[in-house]
Amino acid sequence: METHKLTVRLPVDEVAFVKRYAKQHGVTVTEVLHRYLDRLRNASAHEVHPEVAGLAGILPADMDARDEYLRAMQDKHQ
């Protein structure tokens, strides 16, 4: 993989934090940033599956889904 040097200006406390974090986890600051950027890049890959999206809106608008879920769990575990 080809790499380039990048200069980033951050507040002193953030630099200290990322250095501490990297040391505690046995990685370099570069690796911490690389992993974070990978997560950002892959975030769009976690979109809702079309079948799940198709379920959106099938419950009545006035239904409290949380209450229904809690009621179902109570019924199931009693």
Per-residue confidence (pLDDT) for residue 5, from 0 to 100: 94
> Number of folded domains in the chain?
1
H/E segment holding residue 54: none
Residues of the chain with pLDDT under 50: none
In a domain, 53, yes or no: no
Distance from C-alpha of 58 to C-alpha of 68, rounded to nearest angstrom? 14
Per-residue confidence (pLDDT) for residue 25, from 0 to 100: 96
Distance from C-alpha of 60 to C-alpha of 68, rounded to nearest angstrom? 12
- Residue 35 lies in domain: 12-46
In a domain, 18, yes or no: yes
Distance from C-alpha of 38 to C-alpha of 42, rounded to nearest angstrom? 6
Distance from C-alpha of 30 to C-alpha of 1, rounded to nearest angstrom? 14
In a domain, 57, yes or no: no
H helices of 6-47, in order, are 12-24, 29-43
Distance from C-alpha of 23 to C-alpha of 29, rounded to nearest angstrom? 8
Per-residue confidence (pLDDT) for residue 21, from 0 to 100: 96
The pLDDT tens digits for 19-40 are 999 999 999 999 999 999 988 8
Kindly report the pTM of this predicted structure.
0.55
In a domain, 20, yes or no: yes
In a domain, 56, yes or no: no
In a domain, 4, yes or no: no
In a domain, 7, yes or no: no
In a domain, 40, yes or no: yes
